[in-house]
Structure 1
C-alpha cells in the first residue's frame, strides 16, 4: 500500500477538504484527488462520497480513516527506530506576529537550526487573524500569535505574555511620570485596528473619560519605532522589542500609569501522525523560551 496515498486521504479527512489537504502537502488539487482515487482503487471501495459538493465520507471511508492514522503512526515509529529521520531535510512553515519576531524568535530559530540538522524554514510575518486562518487551513505548521488557533487537530499552548510599554523620543519626553491626560493630545502609534494593543489603548482612554486626538495603526514594529524616535508620536510596543530596536538610545520608555495590559502570546501547531518534526520543534521552542525566562531576573518598572 502506497503510504503517500494514505497520507493524502488522512489530510483530506482532517481538513474535510481536498483543496486544503492539497495546500498542506503542497500539491495541486488534481494531484491530491488522484492520490485518493488511487487508494480507493487499491482498496476496492469508495472512501469519499462525491455525489454533491458537501464533504462526506462513505461508511468505508469512516472505517479506513482510523486505519490511515494508525498506518502513519506506524511509519513514523519505524523510521524513528531505524534512524531514518536523522539528518533528513525537513521544511517547517513558521508564522509569527511582528512582536514575537523582534522579541525572541530570531535566537530561537538560530538554536533550532543548530540542533535540528536538515531543518529548513519558511517564515511568514502576518497579523494574528491571518495566522489563525493559515493554521486552520494547514498552510502553516507552527504559529505564534496573540490568540490560540482553534480547530480539530490543532494544539495550542499559552506562552509568557509580553510586557507592553509606551515609548517616545528621549529628547522630547522628559517627564518622570505620564498619565493618559498627558498623552491624549499626542499622535499615538499602535498595532492594527482590532488588535489587542489597539483595543487596550482605546479602553484605557475610555476608562479615563478621554478621547485621543489621533491614533495611527500599523503592522510594522520597525515603522512605529522609527516614527517614535523621530518625535512623530508615542508608540505602544513590547518592552523586549523596544529595547532591542533602541540601539541608538533615542527612545525612552515612558513611566506610565496605569500600566498597559500585557500582550498574550500563544503557540499553535497541528499534530502529524506521520512525523514528530513539528511536535519536536514546538517543544524545543517552549524549552528555549523557558530557559530565556529563567536567565532574566524579575524586575519592576523602570523610571522613564
Structure 2
C-alpha cells in the first residue's frame, strides 16, 4: 500500500477539503484527487462521497481513517528507529500574534533551531481572527493567539498571560505615576477593534466613568511604537514587548494607578501522524512564555 496515498486521504478527511489537503502537502488539487482515487482502487471501496458539494466520508472512509492514522504513525516510528541517524528535514508552519512575536517567540525559535537543526520554519504574523481561520483550514500547524481555535483534529492549551501596560514617549510622558484620568487625556492607541486589549481598555474606562480624548485602533505593534515615539499618544502594549523594544525606541512603560487586564495566550495545534508532533515542539515553549520578562536582561 502506497503510504503517500494514505497520507493524502488522511489530510483530506481531517481537513474536510481536497484543496486544503493539497495546500498542506504542497501538491496540486488534481494530484491530491488522483492519490485518493488510486487508494480507493487499491482498497476496492469508495472513501469519499462525491454525490454533491458537501464533504462526507463514506462508511468505508470513516473506518479506514482510523487505520490510516495508525499506518502513518507506524511509518514515523519505524523511520525513527531504523532510519538514518541524520534528522529528517521538517517544515513547521507557525503562526503568532505580534504580541508573542515581540516578547518570547524569537528566543524559543532559536532554542528549537538548536534542538532540531533540520527545522525549516514558515512564520506567519497575523491577528487572532486570521490565525484561527488559518488553523481551521489547515494552513498552520501551530498558532499562538489570544483565543483558541476549534475544529476536528485541533488541540489547544493555555499559556501564561501577558502583562499589559500603558506606553508613552520618554520625553513627553516623564512622570513617575499617572492616574487613569491623566492618561485618558492623551490620545490612546490600542489593538484592532473588538480585540481583547481594545475591549478591556474601553471596559476599564467605563468602569471609572472616564471619557477618553480619542481611542485609535491599530493592528501593528510597530506602527503603534512609531506613533508613540513621535508623540502621537499613549499605547496599550504587552510589557515584555515594551521592555525588549524600548532599547531602540524613545519609549517607556508608564506606571498607572489602574491596571490593564492581562492578554490571554492560547496555543492551537494539529497532531501530524507523519512528522514530528507539535506536542514535541511545544515542550518547553511555556517556559519561555513564563520567562519573557527576563529575556531582555539575559541577552
Q: TM-score range by the shorter chain?
A: over 0.9
Q: In the alignment, what sits opposite 2:3?
A: 3
2:198 corresponds to 1:195: no
Which residue does 2:82 correspond to in 1?
82
Counterparts of 1:284 and 1:210 in 2: how far apart (Å)?
A: 42
Deviation at 1:211, TM superposition (A): 2.4
Asked if 1:141 is matched to 2:141, the reply is yes
Q: What is the match of residue 258 of structure 1? A: 258
Report the CA distance between 1:294 and its aligned residue.
Answer: 10
1:285, distance to aligned residue in structure 2 (A): 2.4
Aligned-pair distance for 1:287? Answer: 4.6
RMSD value, Cα: 1.8
User: Aligned pair in 2 of structure 1 residues 189, 288: CA closer, same or farther (>3 Å)?
Assistant: closer
Q: Deviations over 1:52-96 (max 9, x none)?
A: 111122222122111111111111111111144742111111111
Match of 1:72 in 2: 72
Which has the larger displacement, 281-290 or 199-208?
Answer: 281-290
C-alpha distance in 2 between matches for 1:249 and 1:192: 22
- 1:134 Cα deviation after fit: 0.5
Q: Which residue of 2 aligns with 1:299?
A: none
Structure 1: gaps spanning 5 or more residues: 297-304
| TM-score, L = length of structure 2 | 0.93
Q: More displaced, 69-78 or 276-285?
A: 276-285
Residue 111 of structure 2 corresponds to: 111
Distance 2:145 2:171 in 1: 34
Rate the CA distance shift 1:117–1:128 in 2: closer, same or farther, 3 A.
same
Partner-residue secondary structure (3-state), 2:171: coil
Count of paired positions: 295
Distance in structure 2 (CA, Å) of the matches to 1:288 and 1:282: 10
How far apart, CA to CA, are the structure 1 residues paired with 2:97 and 2:209? 31
> What SS is found at the alignment partner of 1:189?
strand
Counterpart for residue 273 of structure 1 = 273
SS in 1 for 2:283: helix
Counterpart for residue 163 of structure 2: 163
In 2, the alpha carbon distance for the partners of 1:216 and 1:116 equals 42
Structure 2 unmatched runs, 5+ = none
CA separation in 2, counterparts of 1:265 and 1:294?
15
Given that residues 184 and 210 in structure 1 are in contact (C-alpha distance below 8 angstroms), is that contact kept between their aligned partners in structure 2? Answer: yes
Separation of aligned partners in 2, 1:157 and 1:206: 31
Task: Give me the TM-score of the superposition, normalised by structure 1.
Answer: 0.92
3-state SS of paired residue (1:167) = strand
Q: Quick one: structure 1 residues 45 and 15, their matched pair in 2 at CA, closer, same or farther if it must change by over 3 Å?
A: same
In structure 2, the residue matched to 1:62 is: 62
Map of 1:154-303 to 2, 5 A cutoff? 154-248=154-248, 250-289=250-289, 292=291
Q: Tell whether the 8 Å contact from 1:112 to 1:284 is kept in structure 2 after alignment.
A: no
Distance 1:281 1:287 in 2: 13
Shift of 1:252: 2.5
Contact residue 185 and residue 212 of structure 1 kept, 8 A:
yes
Tell me the SS of whatever aligns to 1:209: coil
The offset of 1:238, in angstroms, is 0.6
Relative to structure 1, the CA distance from residue 288 to residue 164 in structure 2 (aligned partners, 3 Å threshold; closer, same or farther) is closer
Cα pair distance change 1:251/1:65, threshold 3 Å:
same
Matched, 1:22 2:22: yes
Tell me how far 1:293 sits from its aligned partner: 6.2
State whether residues 160 and 286 of structure 2, in contact with CA within 8 Å, keep that contact through their aligned partners in structure 1.
Answer: no
2:46 — aligned with what?
46
How far apart are 1:275 and its partner, in Å?
2.2
